[in-house]
Amino acid sequence: MLILGVDPGLTRCGIGVVEAGVSRRLSFIHVDVIRSDPHTSQDLRLLRIYDGICEKLDRFVPDTVSIERVFAQENRNTVLGTAQAAGMAMLAAAQRGIPVALHTPTEAKLAITGNGQAQKIQVERMVMRLLNLNTMPTPADAADALAQAICHALRPAGALQGGEREQHLTPAQRQWAEASQKANRRHGVNRGM
């Protein structure tokens, strides 16, 4: 399964592509950051992000797009731009019939490190280890996009579908599923629909 991860942002939108093989074996495929000029009008910046995402989707044809779920931040302008960039990614995927998954940063930390409160450096080191990378992609948006793709690949079976959960989840997978359910309730998401 090919997963394209998106760390949405209006100035820098991270894109990471990972292949999840047999037994959830992960392979690094691609990482990049789509940039828009902060001195350009917001509509043109969104168009730049959208065009960049479309180019990546057409180039890699992923099975799923995994996008970081936008959450409230102190800076209202930042969260609005981030939400709009996430919307561009969802739109581009929907136009191509590619399923979209949304994961919170806590879910990504939990899936990758087993600790939903892990520090950024811990997540980055695990991303490097899981993908067998010698150096961490920079800027952080690139690494975060890979983390989104990995998060989706490592999610517990059934965590995103309404079906029954696997009976033999690891403690980290169980924590991840519980955090996912809690986030969905908090954001009013009903996975059964």
Which residue ranges are tagged as binding site for Mg(2+)? 7, 68, 141
Q: Which residues are annotated as a binding site?
A: 7, 68, 141
Residues labelled catalytic: 7, 68, 141
C-alpha closest to that of 93 among 184, 6, 187, 159: 6
The upper half-sphere exposure of residue 170, i.e. CA atoms within 13 Å in the direction of its Cβ, equals 12
Assign residue 31 a region (left: φ > 0; alpha: ψ between -120 and 50; beta: otherwise).
beta
The span from the CA of 124 to the CA of 83, in Å, is 23
If DSSP codes are grouped into helix, strand and coil, which group holds residue 30?
strand
Query: Please, are residues 95 and 39 in contact by the beta-carbon 8 Å criterion?
Result: no
Let me know: does 111 contact 104? Beta carbons within 8 Å: no
Q: What are phi and psi of 170, to 5 degrees?
A: -70, 165
| DSSP label of 165 | P
Q: CA 142 from chain center: how many Å?
A: 11
DSSP letter at 22?
Answer: G
